[in-house]
Each structure stands twice: as structure tokens, then as C-alpha cells.
Amino acid sequence: MTDGNVVLFPFLAHGHLTPCLDLVRLLSVRYPHLTLTLVTTSGNLPFLRRLRLPPALRFAALPFDPSDHGLPPDTNTTFALPSHLVTIFNHAVMNSLPPHFRRLLSELIADESLPPLLCVIADMFLGWTAPVAEELGVFHATLYTSGPYAMSIYYSLWINLPHIGGGDDDEDDEIAIPGIPGVTVRRGQLNPKMRAARSMDHPSARFVRVQAESGRRSRATLWNTAEVIEKPFLDAWSRSSDQPVYAVGPLFSAAGRPARDDDGLAAECLAWLDAQAPRSVVYVSFGSQNRLPPKEAAELATALDKQGRPFLWAAPTADQAPPPPETGESGWRSGMVARGWVPQVDVLGHAAVGAFVSHGGWNSTLESLRFGVPTVVRPIEGEQFLNAKLLTEVLGAGAEAVGGKEVAEAVAEVMGEEERGRELRRRAREIAEGLAAAVAEGSGGSEAKGASLRALDEFVQYVMRHSGLQGEVVNETEQNFCGAGHRNNFHGAV
């Protein structure tokens, strides 16, 4: 059996970091003989060391000073950053880290006290790591922390900006997606930055081009999704690129993500939920870096309160909380605002939760699908509009709405007894069963194992065969398995 060092490099945003840490946990349990090295920037080390991670995990820190790029000095991730600074942060990471990463990889290759460097697994927003690894002869894989449906459309939109030239008035204007026949988006489904972009030189367009072009030099792709929800889009991605695809999600469910230590807020949220009736609560969260406009947040909280509907509102940053009720009372009659990091996975898995109001971040989308919680998406930026499109138009397990009153009405419909609500809930439950099966260990060998666990095993074997190292990495849970890998030939769906 060969040991090897796997270098994992998550992008510096919670929505990217979290699934990468899930992958770390999963690899450490299934492949305990591998050495795992997590790359980050020095400012993130104290936070990471506080999390519950495998004790043998090694850390490697790259220097990064946010002040050099005009960012607030404590900017280690995009957490709580306003949208315009997120773009500056993305470019700062892309422009300043490559030489440090190159030096680190060279050192890891030369370090004889470590096992041989088996591969780099880097986030989809760190595409520039692929040519660096290639130059040093190291196998590189990309971890996509969003699904192929959204990413193929998102990349094509940013690379081609097909909406430029048309008027900007008609929300329902259908825009064809270059390279993806038969798929259109409405103008209203373009995110605000994209909709405002007027030239290929837009900073976000430049950022995405680098990720897509450099990412093509990666030798395999890992996806935090499952075949049961995205098989046609995984196949389409694989047909149009030159990389094997491995759907290994939902990673949080495969790995068993522990709640963060949070000064008691997790326990408080769960105790509040314990006191509510089954399927009665709507959970509201806009993720780690988005917020509703305050007026819309006030309207939504007021409308839910008027419905007398219990709601739990996550506010990891102060400005994500809704403004206080206009009645002058200190709190909501039916709602609880949780100020801090909410244990979202435990909340969505709680029997009291009957619906989710979300910004449509991919992790939140997968988490709600895994627990069969129907979602009302109010997309704000990034590829959230496309995750909403997948959820509503393709999977039929949620609704989309904009505006406080409109979102509250959609919640009433999703949780109500009319035909549409019942059908959305049925689809959500059906998908949840499929996702549970995708990450089930099963018994009786590789055939019984869930498709996402099989894909992870196939990925590890593929890396072994193509990394230039000799030997075989054996999965603890199944000694004889050696999968074939999904090899596909494709060029540039993005």
C-alpha cells in the first residue's frame, strides 16, 4: 500500500471552505493512511485550529496581507465583506498567492520527511493552481463547490456576456446560453453584477475567465453534488471537457459535519425548535456573506409574524438580522433571531422545520434537499439565480420569489395544503431519499455502496494510476475495490 500526501486548497470563503473541510473529514476516515495537508493563508490559521478537524491534518500557510490590496486588515475570507470588496478580494488572492503556492509545492516535493506528494485538490475559484501543479509535475484536481448545472451556465454567461446589446428593461427577455443548446435564462435571472456588466473587461468576467481557462488544465473534477440530482449536467460537462468527473456529494452528509463551538447559540436554537410543532417552522438564512435590503428584511419578518408562523432567522453578522418590529416591541411574536453562527445542518434536519427561505447558495440548497425541506429562494448574487433555476424549473422542489411579502406568500404556499405545496414537498422528500442513498455505506461490497462514495473511491484510484506514484491506496472500508473512473472527453462547455 502506498502512502501519499494530498494537498487541499479551499477558496477563502465559508461557502467554499466548509465543503472542502467536509472532504478532509471524509478522506481522513476512508483513507487514514493518506497524509492530508490543508493550504490556507496565515490569517485563517487561528480560526481553522479552533474547528473540529482530524487531529493528523497538517496546515500550510501562505502569506497574505489584506492591507496591501486596500482591504480591511482583518479580511481573511469574504465573510461579512460588502459585494464590491468581494471582487477586490478575489483578484487579490489570484494575483498575490501563485508564487507562494509554487514555493510551497516545491518544498513539499523536496521534503523527505513527508510521504510523496500525491495530488493537489484545489477549489474551482483557485483555477490558477492547475498550471502551477502541472509545471511541477503534480496531479491536480478541481473541487467544484457548486453544481455543473449552475456552473456551466454561470461560466458561459460571464465568458460570453450574451445579454450585452439587448435592452435592459424586460425581465422576461429569454437569453440563449452559448455552448449550452436548448437552455435560456430570463434577464431577471442574471445576477446584478452580470446584468450591469457592459464589457469583457469587467473584473468579474476577467476573474471567471481565469478560473475556467486555467481550470481546464486540471486532470480531474470533483463535484459537491450527486448523480441523482445532476446526472445529465455532469454528463454534459464531461462531454465538453477533457477531464473525468466525480460527483462525491453531498459532502456534509457523507462526512458528518460537526456543529461549531459557538458559546451556546447552537443549543439555544435547537431548544427553541424542540418547543415547536412538527413541520411548523420556517428557517430563514442568507448564508455567510449576503443580506437582504433592510426594507425587504423588515417586510418579510413582519409578514411571517402576521401569519403567526414560527420562524428562526439566522444572522451570523449583525446586518443580516431584520430590523426590529415597527410595533416597538423588542422581539417578534412568532420568530427568533439567532445572532451568530447557527448550526444550519442540525436546524434543517430538525423535525420542527417545514420550509426554508434561502438566498440559494449551493451548500444551503444541497443541505435543504438532503433533508427534504422545501425551499423558497430569494437569490441575491453569484450563481444563486441558477441554483434557484435548478431547484424550481428542473427539480421541482422549491419556489422562487423576490420581495418580503412575496416571499412570505410563497412560504404559505409551499407549506400549505393546496396541490402545488403538496407536490413540492413530495418532490423534496423523494430527492432527500436519493441523496441519502448516494452517501450510504451499504453492506455487501462496492455495488451496495452509494454512488457518491463509489465516485470518491474511483477518484482516489484514478489519481493513484495517474500521479506517477507506484502502488495502490486502499480504502479502509473496502479492501478489494478498484474502480474504473468516469473518463470522458470534452472541450469547453464553459
Contact footprint for ligand UDP (CB under 6 A): 14-15, 18, 285, 287-290, 314, 316, 341-342, 344-345, 361-364, 367
The minimum distance between CB 8 and ligand UDP, in angstroms, equals 17
Cα 396 to Cα 18: distance, rounded to the nearest angstrom: 26
- Give the count of alpha carbons within 13 A of 161, CB side only: 20
* Residue pointed to by grid coordinates 477586490: 88
Please report how close the Cβ of residue 343 comes to ligand UDP at its closest, in angstroms: 6
CA angle 276, 282, 284 (to 5 degrees): 125
**Least distance (Å) from ligand UDP to the CB of residue 450?**
20
Nearer residue to ligand UDP within complex by CB, 127 or 379: 379
**Cβ-based nearer residue to ligand UDP, 118 or 151:** 151
Using Cβ positions, the residue closest to ligand UDP within the complex turns out to be 15
**Whole-number minimum distance, CB 288 to ligand UDP, in Å?**
3
- Cβ distance to ligand UDP smaller for residue 104 or 342: 342
Q: What Rg, from alpha-carbon coordinates, does the chain have?
A: 22
C-beta closer to ligand UDP: residue 79 or 481? 79
Nearest CB to ligand UDP, comparing residues 316 and 485:
316
Tally Cβ neighbours within 10 Å of residue 445: 10
Q: HSE on the CB side for 374, CA within 13 Å?
A: 27
Q: How far is the CB of 252 from ligand UDP (least distance, A)?
A: 7
Asked whether the beta carbons of 224 and 362 are under 8 A apart, the reply is: yes
22/305 with CB nearer ligand UDP? 22
Minimum gap (Å) between residue 364 Cβ and ligand UDP: 3
Helix ranges, 344-467 (H): 344-348, 362-370, 384-389, 404-415, 419-438, 451-466
Question: What is d(CA 7, CA 10) in angstroms, rounded to the nearest whole number?
Answer: 10
> Which secondary-structure segment (H or E) carries 356?
strand 353-358
Would you say 243 or 368 has its CB closer to ligand UDP? 368
Contact by Cβ (8 Å): 64, 47: no
- Give the amino acid at 441: E
Could you tell me the smallest distance in angstroms from the CB atom of residue 413 to ligand UDP? 23
Handedness of CA 221, 484, 230, 37 (dihedral sign): negative
DSSP 218: -
